[in-house]
Amino acid sequence: MADLASAARVRHRPELSQDIINKIQPVTLAGQRIMPVPEVLAPLFPWGGLQRGTSLGVAGHGAWTLSLALMAEALGEEGWLAVVGVPDLGLAAAADLGVRLDRVLLVETPSLDQWPTVVAALLEAVDVVAVAPSARIGPRDARRLQARAREQESMLLHLDGGRTWPNGLDLTLSTEVDRWEGLGEGHGHLTGRRVSISAAGRRGAGGGSSVEVWLPGPDGRLAAAPKEADVLEFRPLRESVNRESPVSEKADSQEVVGQSV
């Protein structure tokens, strides 16, 4: 009997030497500090989810849609989101993507000297503070805010991809629009967008991994993009015209007519 019992124990819990256990035992369990992300996006995140206390940036067309879809999953029913100085954010879209509107605060654009104070105050109470500062943030303020986020286990979300942030972000997600569905030449309406998302970050986070998704998909939310051959519901209505940009504009691909998104 004794043999059987010890055999069972061995099978369930392989023995580790005590010093290895000490080394890998975290102070706070990592699982408590991770906010969930939609399953299809998990490969982009080094810890399988959003780690509290870190900074995240999003860049490219569709980046705001991506961040709202992320927030819907990460915040769930109870998490709070504060948006500072982004009066243009489409809240109807946020709600359709699954963000709870009764957990959203919108803060007017603070003056530059108040900006760090306001963001620091919010980091104390809400889970995620989304920002897009209109001017560059000083390195001291940036360090202080990052420390505050770490200490309060909240997150800074840079809707401008961290352009105005002096330091590198822990993780940046970049979107590239593959194509829009539903719009022909003079008929139809926008229904879905196929996007590829790649991650890059400090200390090799992300590791250049990338995923393809529908953002938004047929039901207006984030959806996994099946391999092109399996796609049934999204056939282009008509081949889209593919013309090069006018020559004068070719050099400048950063700025676009519909700025930033």
Partner 1 sequence: MCVVWCPDWPVVAWGVPLDEPAIVVVGNRVVASSPAARAEGVALGQRRREAQGRCPDVAVLERDIDREARLFEPVAVALEGITPRVEIAGPGLVGFPTLGPSKFFGGDHDLSLKVVEDVAPVLAGRGHIRVGIADGVFAARLAARSTAARTGPIVVTTGESAEFLSGVAITALEQPELTGVLARLGLTTLGAFAALNPADVVGRFGAEGQLAHRLARGEDEHPPDLRRPAPDMAVTWMFEPAAEQIDRCAFAAKALADELHAMLSSDGLACVRVAIEAETDAGEEHVRLWRHEGALSAAALAERARWQLDAWLGSIARRALITSAATSSDEMENATSGSGIRRLTLVPDEVVPAVGRQLGFWGGRAERADDVTRVVARIQGLMGPEAVQVPERRGGRGPAEQIVLIPAAAVDLGEERIATAAEWVSEPWPGRMPKPEPVQVRFDPLPIELMDDARRPVTVSGRGELSASPALVEGSVPSGRTKQRWITGWAGPWPAEERWWDPVSVRRRARMQVTLNDGSAHLLVLEEGAWSIEATY
Binding site for partner 1 (CB under 8 A): 61-62, 64-65, 68, 78, 80, 87-96, 100-102, 104-108, 110, 114, 117-118, 121-122, 124-126, 176-180, 183-193, 216, 220, 240-246, 248-249, 252-253, 255-261
Q: Nearest to residue 97, comparing CAs of 204, 206, 236, 193?
A: 193
Q: Of 25 and 111, which CB lies nearer to partner 1 in the complex structure?
A: 111
Closest-CA residue to 38 (of 207, 221, 227): 221
Cα distance between residue 200 and residue 131, in whole Å: 19
**Nearer residue to partner 1 within complex by CB, 103 or 202:** 103
Rounded distance, CA 7 to CA 237, Å? 62
The answer to whether the CB of 203 falls within 8 A of the CB of 221 is no
The crossing angle, in degrees rounded to 10, of helices 139-152 and 115-125 is 10
Minimum distance between the CB of residue 137 and partner 1, rounded to whole angstroms?
A: 18
Closest distance of CB 158 from partner 1, Å: 16
Nearer to partner 1, 191 or 209 (CB): 191
DSSP assignment of 95-107 equals HHTT--GGGEEEE
Nearer to partner 1 by Cβ, of 168 and 231: the residue is: 231
81 and 127 Cβ atoms separated by less than 8 Å: yes
Residue 132 or residue 205: which is nearer to partner 1 going by CB?
132
- For the CB of residue 238, give the shortest distance to partner 1 in the complex, in Å: 8
Shortest spacing between CB 165 and partner 1, in angstroms:
19
Nearest distance from C-beta of residue 70 to partner 1, angstroms:
13
Side-chain-side CA neighbours of 44 within 13 Å: the count stands at 27
Nearer to partner 1, 26 or 87 (CB): 87
Q: How many angstroms separate the CA atoms of 109 and 84, rounded? A: 6
Least separation in angstroms between CB 87 and partner 1: 5
- Provide, rounded to whole angstroms, the least separation between the CB of residue 80 and partner 1: 6
Neighbouring residues of 58: CB distance < 8 A, sequence distance ≥ 6: 64, 66, 67, 157, 158, 159, 161, 172, 173, 174, 175
| Nearer to partner 1 (CB atom), residue 39 or residue 124 | 124
